[in-house]
């Protein structure tokens, strides 16, 4: 087994520590109401769905063949993510109703646990006796990982150890089954998740065995002979003829069938993001965690290589990743089709997780920029403004006709958010990220505090032996002004590092009213000011937000001759409700006036963008499908809304990338 040397290599050691979610209070602004809707609408709605679909009752282990609501092998993970979201939310704002429900579900989980620690509803009632015989596809370790994350969150939120103890027993059982020692299975999960969960369990318990087990799962992945084949043989199957292998072989994955599971190569040898997008994101998050805990630079190097590939070749402007519907996966460089974009909400959430871990090493704003871009676009597009319906896929363009005339409809692809899905990973994933968003705003390191995201909030943190209260007042992303107050309990020296977003030119900053020449103080995307701070010191930051036209790389074939509009971190789109049909005919000429207005009554209060545009004169087209190219263009004004807010009105056309120059 790889020797673990915790934190021996100081050069690699993670420099920053996030300020924990429970120490950050988000107030009003853009995110306060979103967290409130998450607590009062999303969490109850998701509980009802878990209840009505049988997910919660399945934990009673009473299901028999012939009964309705046959448990599915990933159901435990949906409940786990809901508990995790509820835990964060409860700690921020007590809610008796939700707390009672969480406690009831935890009691069911405890009762569903076997003597040896094992918990899984599917393998308890649908395929009893077959546990750990098909970790290739059956998500057993994935479900365990989500339950562990939920238990850690619940412990941190309430201080109650009950659920954590349950999950330690389960993790101990997993440790007794998997590993390189004689008699153990040399396996790993087809869907990464347990790896990052075990790091969380290690951090909260201090038990090194959980860190070692996580290292084992990451190190074992992609080694030959493939465990997935060994376990197929153990099941009495011919691995070459197993249905999954056959279907994967038919999928023509360039890197081979195991690329779908990121098991085509050992993780350190992977240089491009291949296969199922969520799995890549969770795997890389775990690799970054392990690099931070063990000082293993080779893992961080692999993360950086994959990061470059994802963010410079394979990511949508919204932070969406994984364009292909068929297997929720990456395809090839610059392949970002718009209408068929899959961009699973969970994959963007995973990108936020990964970015957040990467930025803690050096405090490099390149990670924070992607984290913010993804959060404000491809992540929150996943939930309706009302908080009770969800996108699984996040398209970059849409036409209702694509869905009205199909032989089969995949509910995940529909242009209207759905209340729930048969495979409902995304809704509770959004709920847990929204509830724990406080964790993404600030970090600290020795004598230094970082502000990553501009979110109206307050935190109290300890630096050395002194306490500092840090607060932000802002209407970001609508408004370009951010007021930061630094209040140490007594005068103290510290470095304040404030992110200057990559999208921003001409940021201005004043300290206690005095202008500071920002350019002299910026390092890796952060403005760094070391000085003596005293109670009530104020920083006023202005991040100018002109509307920008963005073009895509020339190799991104779908977007040649097209532009997207951005203002600050937000990507904009055109919707039929505001602009009529045939959005693809709209052309934004060079020099077009682009103006931004705050409309408090529209879509919960948004900044809209109006742009001068051209469109062909349809009255010149009689009953023709094609004609000589000579149709003059008419001047019109179009109105764009933030991408995340699309599909909250009537179903209609939508585009992000419009013709333009």
For residues 101 and 80, give the distance between their C-alpha atoms in angstroms, rounded to a whole number.
13
What is residue 334's DSSP assignment?
T
Residue 491 C-alpha from the chain's centroid: 38
148/430 with CB nearer Zn ion: 430
- The alpha carbon of 199 is separated from its chain's Cα centroid by a whole number of angstroms, namely 18
Q: CB within 8 A of 483, min separation 6: which ones?
A: 472, 473, 474, 538, 539, 540, 541
For the bound state, the minimum distance from the C-beta of residue 333 to Zn ion, rounded and expressed in Å, comes to: 24
Active centre residues (catalytic): 328, 425
When CB distances to Zn ion are compared, the closest residue is 346
What is the distance between the alpha carbons of residues 441 and 456, in angstroms, rounded to a whole number? 10
Residue 430 C-beta: closest distance to Zn ion, Å = 9
CA angle 637, 640, 646 (to 5 degrees): 140
Cα distances from 27 to residues 375, 437, 569, in angstroms, run 18, 12, 20
Q: Give the interface with Zn ion as residue ranges (CB under 5 A).
A: 344, 346, 425-426
Q: Tell me how far apart the alpha carbons of residues 613 and 574 are, in angstroms, rounded to a whole number.
A: 12
Q: Which is nearer to Zn ion, 43 or 171 (CB)?
A: 43
Crossing angle of helices 96-112 and 75-92, in 10° steps, is: 140
Whole-number Å distance between alpha carbons of 335 and 435 = 33
Alpha-carbon span 647 to 96, nearest angstrom? 33
User: What would the 3-class secondary structure string for 88-108 be?
Assistant: HHHHHCCCHHHHHHHHHHHHH
Please name which of 419, 287, 304 lies closest in space to residue 362, comparing C-alpha atoms.
Answer: 304
> Which residue, 149 or 219, has its beta carbon nearer to Zn ion?
149
Q: Which is nearer to Zn ion, 91 or 310 (CB)?
A: 310
Residues ≥6 apart with Cβ < 8 Å to 183: none
Cβ at position 418, least distance to Zn ion in Å? 12
The residue behind tokens 């509803």 is 121
Q: Is the CB of 232 or the CB of 346 nearer to Zn ion?
A: 346
Query: How far is 57 from 412, CA to CA, in rounded Å?
Result: 25
Closer Cβ to Zn ion, 344 or 480, answer by number: 344
- Chain length of the chain: 661
Rounded CA separation 455/452 (Å) = 9
Other Cβ atoms within 10 Å of 23 Cβ, number = 15
Nearest to 307 by CA among 362, 261, 351: 351
Least distance (Å) between residue 258 CB and Zn ion: 22
Distance CA 605, CA 30 (A): 9
Query: Residue 84: which H helix or E strand, with range?
Result: helix 75-92
- Half-sphere exposure at residue 326, Cβ-oriented, CA atoms within 13 angstroms: 10
Min CB(42)–Zn ion separation in Å: 15
Any bridge partners for residue 659, and if so which?
562, 587
CB nearer to Zn ion: pick between 382 and 488 = 382
Q: Which residue, 105 or 425, is less far from Zn ion as judged by CB?
A: 425
Decide whether 46 or 156 has the Cβ nearer to Zn ion.
Answer: 46
Q: How far is the CB of 362 from Zn ion (least distance, A)?
A: 30
Q: Judged by CB, which is closer to Zn ion: 426, or 609?
A: 426
What is the closest distance, in whole angstroms, from the C-beta atom of residue 429 to Zn ion in the complex?
Answer: 6
Question: Which residues face 496 on adjacent strands?
Answer: 449, 529
Contact 643, 550 (CB under 8 A): no
At closest approach, how far in Å is the CB of 392 from Zn ion? 6
CA-closest candidate to residue 579, choices 645, 627, 640: 640
Measured from the CB atom, the residue of 291 and 426 that comes closer to Zn ion is 426
Task: For CA atoms 470, 475, 478, 481, give the dihedral sign.
Answer: negative
What's the farthest any 2 CA atoms get from each other in the chain? 79
Provide, rounded to whole angstroms, the least separation between the CB of residue 524 and Zn ion. Answer: 32
Q: C-beta of 519: minimal distance to Zn ion in Å?
A: 41
Beta strand 658-660 with 587-588 is parallel
Q: Provide the token pair at 162.
A: 């009950």
Least distance from C-beta 424 to Zn ion, angstroms?
8
Nearest distance from C-beta of residue 212 to Zn ion, angstroms: 29
Minimum CB distance to Zn ion smaller for 273 or for 426: 426
Q: Please, is 462 exposed, middle or buried when counting C-beta atoms within 10 Å of its C-beta (0-12, 13-18, 19+)?
A: exposed
Write the CB contacts of 623 (distance below 8 Å, at least 6 apart in sequence).
none
């Amino acid at each position: 087994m790889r020797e673990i040397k915790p934190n021996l290599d100081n050069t690699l050691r993670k420099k920053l520590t996030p300020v924990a979610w429970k120490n950050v209070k988000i107030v009003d602004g853009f995110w306060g109401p979103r967290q409130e809707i998450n607590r009062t609408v999303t969490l109850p709605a998701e509980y009802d769905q878990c209840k009505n679909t049988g997910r919660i009752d399945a934990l009673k282990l009473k299901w028999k063949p012939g009964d309705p609501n046959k448990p599915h092998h990933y159901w435990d993970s949906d409940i786990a993510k809901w508990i995790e979201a509820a835990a964060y939310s409860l700690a921020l704002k007590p809610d008796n109703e939700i707390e009672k429900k969480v406690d009831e579900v935890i009691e069911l989980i405890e009762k569903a646990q076997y003597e040896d620690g094992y918990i899984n509803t599917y393998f308890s009632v649908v395929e009893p006796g077959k546990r750990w015989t098909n970790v290739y596809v059956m998500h057993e370790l994935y479900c365990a990982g989500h339950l562990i994350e939920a238990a850690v969150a619940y412990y941190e939120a309430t201080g109650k150890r009950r659920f954590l103890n349950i999950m330690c027993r389960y993790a101990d059982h997993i440790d007794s089954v998997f590993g390189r020692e004689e008699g153990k299975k040399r396996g790993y999960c087809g869907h990464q998740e347990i790896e990052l969960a075990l790091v969380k369990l290690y951090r909260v318990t201090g038990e090194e065995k959980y860190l070692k087990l996580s290292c084992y799962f990451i190190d074992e992945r992609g080694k030959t002979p493939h465990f997935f084949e060994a376990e197929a043989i153990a099941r009495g199957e011919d691995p070459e003829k197993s249905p999954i292998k056959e279907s994967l072989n038919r999928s023509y994955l360039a890197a081979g069938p195991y690329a779908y599971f990121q098991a085509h190569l050992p993780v350190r040898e992977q240089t491009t993001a291949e296969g199922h997008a969520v799995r890549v994101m969770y795997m890389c998050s775990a690799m970054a965690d392990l690099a931070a805990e063990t000082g293993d630079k080779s893992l961080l190097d692999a993360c950086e290589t994959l990061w470059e590939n994802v963010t410079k070749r394979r990511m949508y402007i919204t932070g969406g990743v994984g364009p292909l519907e068929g297997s929720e996966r990456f395809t090839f460089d610059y392949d970002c089709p718009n209408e068929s974009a899959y961009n699973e909400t969970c994959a963007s959430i995973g990108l936020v997780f990964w970015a957040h871990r990467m930025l803690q090493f050096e405090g490099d704003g390149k990670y924070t920029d992607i984290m913010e871009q993804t959060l404000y676009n491809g992540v929150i597009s996943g939930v309706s403004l009302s908080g009770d319906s969800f996108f699984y896929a996040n398209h970059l363009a849409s036409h209702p006709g694509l869905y009205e005339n199909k032989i089969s409809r995949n509910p995940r692809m529909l242009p209207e958010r759905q209340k729930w899905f048969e495979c409902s990973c995304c809704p509770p994933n959004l709920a847990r990220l929204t509830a724990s968003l406080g964790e993404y705003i600030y970090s600290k390191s020795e004598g230094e505090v970082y502000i990553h995201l501009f979110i109206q909030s307050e935190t109290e943190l300890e630096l050395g032996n002194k306490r500092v209260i840090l607060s932000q007042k802002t209407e970001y992303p609508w408004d370009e002004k951010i007021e930061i107050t630094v209040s140490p309990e007594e005068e103290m020296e510290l470095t304040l590092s404030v992110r200057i977003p990559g999208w921003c030119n001409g940021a201005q900053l004043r300290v206690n009213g005095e202008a500071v020449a920002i350019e002299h103080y910026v390092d890796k995307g952060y403005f760094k000011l070391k000085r003596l701070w005293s109670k009530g010191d104020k920083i006023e930051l202005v991040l100018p937000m002109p509307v920008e036209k963005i073009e895509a790389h020339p190799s991104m074939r779908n977007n040649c001759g097209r532009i997207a509009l951005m203002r600050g971190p937000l990507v904009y789109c055109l919707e039929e409700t505001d602009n009529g049909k045939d959005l693809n005919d709209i052309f934004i000429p060079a020099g077009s006036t682009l103006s931004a207005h705050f409309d408090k009554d529209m879509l919960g209060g948004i900044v809209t963008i109006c742009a001068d545009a051209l469109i062909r004169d349809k009255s010149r087209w009689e009953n023709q499908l094609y004609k000589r190219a000579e149709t003059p263009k008419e001047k019109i004004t179009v109105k764009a809304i933030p991408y995340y807010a699309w599909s909250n009105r009537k179903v209609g056309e939508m585009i992000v990338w419009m013709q333009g120059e």
